[in-house]
């Protein structure tokens, strides 16, 4: 008999052909070779959870807005979000700041603690929900309000403060649906934040409370966990280094690592992501050959990955395929990434090994 292919701590099945097991029991990545369309189907959307998925009853669930930055506390019920407030839908990519950590370690000849991600901690969904702005408005933000901090109902009470401008942005939403379905348990049911173009950790799942503060807030996720620590990164007050906002500019090939192909003409496909920026170009290079432009087949936009493809007439043998994305802010992926202690924001051009079999 088949064992059920699910971890006891998460709800959705985790078939290994769709979801890469990082070994933590909680964290599963989207198999890059099974990405299909612009949107990642829920069955293969990556999961990053610090603690088991909580069981939350939407009939008793509430979301409270409070703090010294609001004129009055407001409490919403699930039904308020579902039926009483304007719903908007946005397609947005979520990427964990720790994506590619294993490859970062290989580049530096060391290992990192933390979730052992390859290339799979990135996915894209259509999120439907209520603008955070619309939930804050009835609480009457004061002129002194500075930061907005979502807090979760799971065992770690995850919190990650946002500056007021980001909280009020058009595309910062409290999502109740994902790809047209009620938000799945592992992705934050009944409601999660989606913070466009920021590291995944800002998109707090299983929301229960939102604090509006007149002073800067210091919590583990912006002082010691999702911060850049190392030479070149200065500590800031209680923070061990700068808190990460955007993930690194990056790209991936939609093939296994290493890839196995048959000789002859190939269409190599992939993704590139630029956080709050927009991917402008993608280039590919085979071995020591020249950089050549790839074609953007879905251009992407701020907070949404781009899709690209590249034609290659492959000769038999062992090859290295490199991909370099650039964004509309003039950045390009570098050849190496400055080290940081927790292995975040790996941005280097990857040397993707490709074995090509057969004769010409």
Binder of residue 49, out of ligand MTE, Mo ion, none (CB less than 5 to 8 A by kind): ligand MTE
Give 149 or 201: the residue with its C-beta nearer to Mo ion.
201
Give 53 or 213: the residue with its C-beta nearer to ligand MTE.
53
Nearest to 57 by CA among 194, 209, 189: 189
d(Cα 6, Cα 94) in Å, to the nearest integer?
22
Q: Are 46 and 29 in contact (CB under 8 A)?
A: yes
Give 32 or 200: the residue with its C-beta nearer to ligand MTE.
200
Contact status: 201 vs Mo ion (CB under 5 A): yes
Binder of residue 206, out of ligand MTE, Mo ion, none (CB less than 5 to 8 A by kind): ligand MTE
Q: Minimal distance in Å, beta carbon 85 to ligand MTE?
A: 22
Give the footprint of Mo ion on residues 62-101 (CB under 5 A).
96
According to CB under 5 A, which one of 29, 200, 208, 270 is a site residue for Mo ion? 200
Q: Minimal distance in Å, beta carbon 29 to Mo ion?
A: 11
Choose one: 101-109, 131-139, 200-208, 296-304; the region binding Mo ion (CB under 5 A).
200-208
Return the HEC string of the chain. Answer: CCCCCCCCCCCCCCCCCCEEECCCCCCEEECHHHCCCCCCCHHHCCECCCCCCCCCCCCCCEEEEECCCECCCEEEEHHHHHHHCCCEEEEEEEECCCCCHHHHHHHHCCCCCCCCCCCCCEEEEEEEEEEHHHHHHHHCECCCCCEEEEEECCCCCCECCEEHHHHCCCCEEEEEEECCEECCHHHCCCCEEEECCCEHHHCCCCEEEEEEECCCCCCHHHHCCCECCECCECCECCECCCECCCCCCEEEECCCCCEEEECEEEEEEEEEECCCCCEEEEEEEECCCCCEECEEEECCECCECEEEEEEEEECCEEEEEEEEEEECCCCECCCCCCCCCCCCCCCCCCEEEEEEECCC
Contact status: 149 vs Mo ion (CB under 5 A): no
Give 100 or 322: the residue with its C-beta nearer to ligand MTE.
100
Binder of residue 136, out of ligand MTE, Mo ion, none (CB less than 5 to 8 A by kind): none
Give 205 or 209: the residue with its C-beta nearer to ligand MTE.
205
Q: Minimal distance in Å, beta carbon 100 to ligand MTE?
A: 13
Phi, psi of 307 (to 5 degrees): -110, 145
Give 34 or 48: the residue with its C-beta nearer to ligand MTE.
48
Give the footprint of Mo ion on residues 96-125 (CB under 5 A).
96
Radius of gyration of the chain (CA): 21
Give 124 or 280: the residue with its C-beta nearer to Mo ion.
124
Give 92 or 324: the residue with its C-beta nearer to ligand MTE.
92
Q: Which residues bind ligand MTE (CB under 6 A)?
A: 45-50, 94, 96, 152, 154, 158, 187, 200-201, 203-206
Give 174 or 314: the residue with its C-beta nearer to ligand MTE.
174
Q: Minimal distance in Å, beta carbon 265 to ligand MTE?
A: 35
What is the residue whose two structure tokens read 């950790």? 201
Which pair of tokens denotes residue 139?
A: 């609480």
Binder of residue 152, out of Mo ion, ligand MTE, none (CB less than 5 to 8 A by kind): ligand MTE
Binder of residue 187, out of ligand MTE, Mo ion, none (CB less than 5 to 8 A by kind): ligand MTE
Give the footprint of Mo ion on residues 11-50 (CB under 5 A).
48
d(Cα 300, Cα 306) in Å, to the nearest integer?
4
Binder of residue 50, out of ligand MTE, Mo ion, none (CB less than 5 to 8 A by kind): ligand MTE
Q: Minimal distance in Å, beta carbon 290 to ligand MTE?
A: 36
Q: Binding residues for Mo ion, per CB under 5 A?
A: 48, 96, 200-201
């Amino acid at each position: 008999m088949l064992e059920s292919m699910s971890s006891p701590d998460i709800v959705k099945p985790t078939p290994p052909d769709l979801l890469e097991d990082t070994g933590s029991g909680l964290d599963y990545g989207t198999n890059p070779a099974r990405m299909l369309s612009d949107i990642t189907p829920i069955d293969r959307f990556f999961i990053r959870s610090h603690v088991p998925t909580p069981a939350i009853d939407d009939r008793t669930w509430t979301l409270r807005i409070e703090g010294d930055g609001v004129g009055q506390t407001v409490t919403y019920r699930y039904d308020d979000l579902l039926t009483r407030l304007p719903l908007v839908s946005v397609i947005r990519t979520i990427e964990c700041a720790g994506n590619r950590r294993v490859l970062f370690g290989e580049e530096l000849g060391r290992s990192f603690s933390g979730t052992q991600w390859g290339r799979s901690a990135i996915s894209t969904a259509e999120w439907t929900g209520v603008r955070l702005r619309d939930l804050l408005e009835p609480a009457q933000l004061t002129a002194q309000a500075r930061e907005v901090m979502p807090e979760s109902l799971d065992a770690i009470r995850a919190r990650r403060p946002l500056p007021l401008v980001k909280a009020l942005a058009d595309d910062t939403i409290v999502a109740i649906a994902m790809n047209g379905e009620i938000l799945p348990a592992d992705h934050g049911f009944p409601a999660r934040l989606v913070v466009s173009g920021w590291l995944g950790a800002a998109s707090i799942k299983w929301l229960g409370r939102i604090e509006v503060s007149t002073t800067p807030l210091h919590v583990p996720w912006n002082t010691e966990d999702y911060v850049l620590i190392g030479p070149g990164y200065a500590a800031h007050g209680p923070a061990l280094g700068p808190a990460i906002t955007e993930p690194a500019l990056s790209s991936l090939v939609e093939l296994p690592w290493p890839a196995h192909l048959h000789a002859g003409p190939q269409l190599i496909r992939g993704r590139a992501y630029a956080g709050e920026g927009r991917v402008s170009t993608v280039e590919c290079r085979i071995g020591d050959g020249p950089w050549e432009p790839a074609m953007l087949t879905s251009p992407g936009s701020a907070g949404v990955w781009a899709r690209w493809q590249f034609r290659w007439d492959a000769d038999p043998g062992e090859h290295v395929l490199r991909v370099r994305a650039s964004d509309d802010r003039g950045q390009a992926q570098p050849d190496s990434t400055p080290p940081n202690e927790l292995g975040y924001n790996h941005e280097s051009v990857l040397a993707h090994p490709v074995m090509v079999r057969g004769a010409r």
